[in-house]
Amino acid sequence: MIRIPRNHTVYSFSRRHPARYRARPGDSVVFETLDALGGQIVDEATPIESIDWSRVNPATGPLYVEGAEAGDTLVVEIESIEVSDRGVIVVAPGFGALHDRSFRPRAKVVWVKNGRLLFNDIEIGVKPMIGVIGVAPEDGDIPTGTSGYHGGNMDVNLITAGSKVYLPVFVEGALVAIGDLHAVQADGELCVAAVEVSGEIQVKIGLIKGRRPHYPIVETLDRYAIITFGRDLDEAVYRASEEAVSILSRAFNAPFEEAYMLSSLLVDVRINQVVDPVKGVRAEIPKKYVRLDHLLYP
């Protein structure tokens, strides 16, 4: 079993990051992760102003995948996620969906036990998920706090044990990195943080040669989710809608007009997060109507 320790982290996705660990398709790999705040919140008295924002959203890796080349698809099957029993949530003026409101910055420590999280006297079911997962882009450095065609900080609560993530490969070896575990996150992540936890993620690496998706794809038991992004929600929704209609057109060999009609009947557009520099949306299509090959392009 390949294990990447949590002290081997990056804060951007880039081809310039050296990969100390290598895997082959079919290998299982464990990524040990830090919480999204880099362990800087010691307790609830920790001043939010003391946080070093350059150490936020660490991603463990990168991992070099043998045989991966530009134009391929990296498949990351989430086999299991284990989270620590201690989580942190933060709020601060200027951040989150209500960024214009005046309130005091605050950190809150919460505890996870027996699959439940206790927020004051409110019990919430735990559903561990991966916030950051991505590969190196073709050029430049993309901070781990944002998302794009490469994946990154997508904050999609569907990325949990049992799901698969399909990422377009842009550079040799793909250079995948993973981090930002959440014990719980609702769609939107409204206050800018979820229950940020450290933990361990076991994944199985796969590779599809010669074809790749336009955007990252998440596969669940019954659907495919196209993960798009934008400077605002309108742009993200437009991209999700455009790609979903294109996929339906391919799946049914239908003209644009009919595929567009079908999109109103078959496609669910949902919000991933509204708080990062780039907003996130997904278009979900039931697997009853499309196959994976309809989502991949030469």
Which residue, 174, 191, 208, sits at the end of a domain?
208
SS3 state of residue 189: coil
Claim to verify: residue 120 and residue 193 sit in the same structural domain? yes
- Residue 246's CATH number: 3.10.28.20
Which residue, 154, 185, 208, sits at the end of a domain?
208
SS3 state of residue 52: coil
pTM: 0.97
H helices of 113-232, in order, are: none
| Confidence band for 241, pLDDT divided at 50, 70 and 90 | very high
Claim to verify: residue 181 and residue 221 sit in the same structural domain? no
| CA separation for the pair 179, 86 (Å, rounded) | 16
For residue 297, which of 138, 76, 71, 136 has the smallest C-alpha distance? 71
Per the structure, the complete domain to which residue 236 belongs is given by 217-295
Claim to verify: residue 265 and residue 126 sit in the same structural domain? no
β-pairing, 151-153 with 147-148?
antiparallel
Provide, rounded to the nearest whole percent, the portion of the chain with pLDDT above 90.
97
The beta-carbon contacts of 5-9 under 8 Å, at least 24 apart in sequence, are 5/32, 5/60, 6/32, 6/33, 6/34, 6/60, 6/198, 8/60, 8/61, 9/34, 9/58, 9/59, 9/60, 9/61, 9/177, 9/179
> What are the pLDDT digits (tens) for 148-167?
999 999 999 999 999 999 99
How many domains would you assign to the chain? 2
| CA separation for the pair 23, 95 (Å, rounded) | 38
> What are the pLDDT digits (tens) for 21-65?
999 999 999 999 999 999 999 999 998 888 888 889 999 999 999
Structure tokens at 64: 């070099």
Claim to verify: residue 142 and residue 179 sit in the same structural domain? yes
Claim to verify: residue 153 and residue 104 sit in the same structural domain? yes
Mean pLDDT of 65-81: 98
> What are the pLDDT digits (tens) for 104-129?
999 999 999 999 999 999 999 999 99
SS3 state of residue 237: helix
> In the predicted model, what is the mean pLDDT of the chain?
97
